[in-house]
Chains A and B, each alone.
Chain A
Amino acid sequence: MSTTTPTAPADPERKAPAAKRTKVRPGDRIFSGAARGAGISLLAIMAAIAIFLVVKATDALSKNQGSFLTDQGWDPNAAKPAFGVVTLVFGTVVSATIAMLIAVPVAVGVALFITHYAPRRIAQTLGYIVDLLAAVPSVVYGLWGYIFLAPKLLGLHSWLSDYLGWIPLFDKEQAGVTARTLFTVGIVLAIMILPIIAAVTREVFLQVPRAHEEAALALGATRWEMIRMAVLPYGKPGMISASMLGLGRAVGETIAVAMVLSPSFDVSIHILDPGNNTIAANIANQFGESGEIGRGALIASGLVLFIMTLLVNGAARVVINRRKAFSGANS
């Protein structure tokens, strides 16, 4: 500190030549070039993903005898290959929707409990535990869902079909003995993405300025009113992006779905019956047994999945940016 102050007056005179010299330094040029190159390589990877999926998908699609967008069957390895993606998209959307309906409110509740209700001393530990659970591999959720949870959910299946069977969604047509259904898949996915959403939401809630919370409490608000007025509005963009992260996981989840679901290839609105399929699980199930066209067809379905996640991400980003302008969060 003391050595820099005396030289300060000389700085303005030296600045111009120094600036020129920095431009010539080869080390700087190499280093910044490498950094920029890394950034560009990342873009190149994304571009390559899109290009390769499109190219390989069009190969298979050109041989498709059926309609890719509306056919319900999946038979790309036959002499007359015919395959359609509608069942897969339906299953993916429905299972992800069930997962989100269960997981988002519960995860927000968990995050609120840890940040605002739990005693300070155990709150930190609970936070760590949620972070750890968010890292449990999905194959373990699949194993647990298939062996432990699915049999336990049979009762819930018959209860729902008994009392809510008049809703087509909960109408159970097959007197099934297995609970390897889209409904169970939705629940497993919900349990899987819950810690992820909760972990991110918790961090967002921790960032709410104390001044906002204390101002609300000082005005006589109860704890719930304080949360509604100060915490939730501030945390909304973060909650949305956390949910989107969870949705991305649920939509793209492969192995857990492949293990739990007993698939079929008709669109069935009866989610309590075995059947339906998701894009990712279908890829995992079919890949080993597929030939050239079959794999191309799977790549085409992967492209649909890719586009779906792009849309979800893009929508989330638009929402977050719009909210950001109002709430002043993330600043």
Chain B
Amino acid sequence: MTVLDTGDKRPGIGTDAVETGRAGLPDPRAASLTRRTLPRQVPWAIAGGGVLLTIVFKLTLDNWALAVFLGGLVFILTLSAVSWRFEDSRRARDRFATSLITTTFVLAVLPLISLLGYTIQRGADKLTPYFLSHSMRGVGARDDTGGVYHAIIGTLEQVGLAALIAVPIGLLTAIYLVEYGRGRLAKTVTFFVDVMTGLPSIVAGLFIYAFWIMMLGFEASGFAGSLALMILMLPTVVRSAEEMLKLVPNELREASLALGIPKWRTVLKVVLPTAFGGIVTGVMLSIARVIGETAPLLLLVGLTQSINTDPFSGWQSALPLYVFDQNHAGNQFAEERAWAAALTLIVIVMILNLAARLIARWKAPKAG
């Protein structure tokens, strides 16, 4: 294996090594190791200077993004220039890349921290037991009351129903692809799972609208929303389950088959339990992905301000829809409710994600 790998890579590395060899001959390089390396503290000192400058910029310009950008720019340029002057050009390039990538990371994290921080700051006050246990029924534009209970019920039912349909179909498809799939049909299915992954959520919503509401003549309801969510979940479930089933060692299957156990029982009793943890993780991640979908629900579930526990008849609400609707309402209290609901949504997604990771870690040794 390793011999093959190095054989594959040799041309690439070989040519590059020749190039760099020309730039710095063996002798100067050896010398640079002993003489011309910057002391360890210098990059850190320059980085510290950059941070100080950032704070100065922040105080004068009052804009974090711009301050970090300028501070990072100074850091990158100074470090590269110092390295260029006291070390060789290759090292300068390396320093340039290191400082650039580090600054990029800090710059990229900035808006994401801002997003989370701002949501928590705006939403935390409002996120009370009262908010979680009341609906919006009869809440006027000037009332600081109302809550998100009906939306949570809607979201849980819609996503639950979607999972109920998508998981068996997705799991069976994955089993087909891994255990049975040969030839053209399996290739076609694989290809269309990929295509489905890129399906915009609004298109899934339009399809269910055209099929379920326009053609079959049903009313808008929670279930129509779950059908669209099901389509969006399906490829994620198939993909993750497929990866997990592939991880199950073939020896297990062969041992079971050698004992005379039929293939379907082998799959159900040996393969699936082995991959169980990974599959659960995949399902939870796919739920976390669709729980925040707004676009299809906007077309399909209607929008109501009161509690409706029946997903099959009557309009429902949903958490993401609630955020959108409250933001649209455009008064101060509605905006606060929108932030609190957004925070609720983030918290639910985070819990799902963390639970998925914990299950993955807890079940990991068996899956390997």
Give the interface of A toward B (CB within 8 A).
4, 18, 22, 25, 27-28, 30-32, 34-43, 45-46, 48-49, 52-53, 55-56, 105-107, 109-110, 112-114, 117-118, 128, 131-133, 135-144, 146-149, 152, 155, 191, 194-195, 198, 209, 211-212, 215-216, 219-225, 227-230, 233, 244-245, 248, 251-255, 259, 280, 283-284, 287, 295, 298-299, 302, 305-306, 309-310, 312-313, 317, 328
B299 touches A287 (CB 8 A): yes
Please tell me which stretch of B39-47, B156-164, B345-353 contacts chain A, meaning at least 4 of its Cβ atoms lie within 8 angstroms of it.
Answer: B345-353
B177 cross-chain contacts in A, Cβ below 8 A = 39
A138 cross-chain contacts in B, Cβ below 8 A = 292, 294
User: B214: nearest residue on chain A (CB-CB)?
Assistant: A56
The 8 Å CB contact of A143, one of B175, B180, B338, is B338
User: B212: nearest residue on chain A (CB-CB)?
Assistant: A52
Please tell me which stretch of B49-57, B105-113, B128-136, B304-312 contacts chain A, meaning at least 4 of its Cβ atoms lie within 8 angstroms of it.
Answer: B105-113
Interface residues of B in 1-36 (CB under 8 A from A): 2, 5-6, 8-9, 12-13, 16-17, 20, 29
B346 smallest CB distance to A (angstroms): 6
The 8 Å CB contact of B195, one of A30, A209, A310, is A310
Contact with A along B210-243 (1 / 0, CB 8 A): 1100110000000000000001001000100000
Interface size class of B (residues with CB under 8 A): 35 or more
A53 cross-chain contacts in B, Cβ below 8 A = 203, 206-207, 210
A254 CA / B291 CA spacing, docked (Å): 15
B267 cross-chain contacts in A, Cβ below 8 A = 31
User: A226: nearest residue on chain B (CB-CB)?
Assistant: B94
A52 CA / B6 CA spacing, docked (Å): 52
B29 touches A312 (CB 8 A): no
A298 CA / B262 CA spacing, docked (Å): 51
B202 cross-chain contacts in A, Cβ below 8 A = 252, 254, 280, 283-284, 302, 305
Give the interface of B toward A (CB within 8 A).
2, 5-6, 8-9, 12-13, 16-17, 20, 29, 63, 65, 90-91, 93-94, 96-98, 100-102, 104-105, 107-109, 111-112, 114-116, 118-119, 168-173, 175-177, 179-181, 185-186, 188-189, 191-204, 206-207, 209-211, 214-215, 231, 234, 238, 255, 258-260, 262-265, 267-268, 285, 288-289, 291-295, 298-299, 320, 323-324, 327, 335, 338-339, 342, 345-346, 349-350, 352-354, 357
Would you list 16 pairs from A and B whose C-beta atoms are within 8 A, ordered by A residue? A28-B264, A32-B176, A32-B180, A38-B175, A48-B211, A137-B292, A140-B342, A141-B115, A143-B339, A144-B115, A148-B118, A215-B13, A222-B90, A224-B93, A252-B200, A313-B194
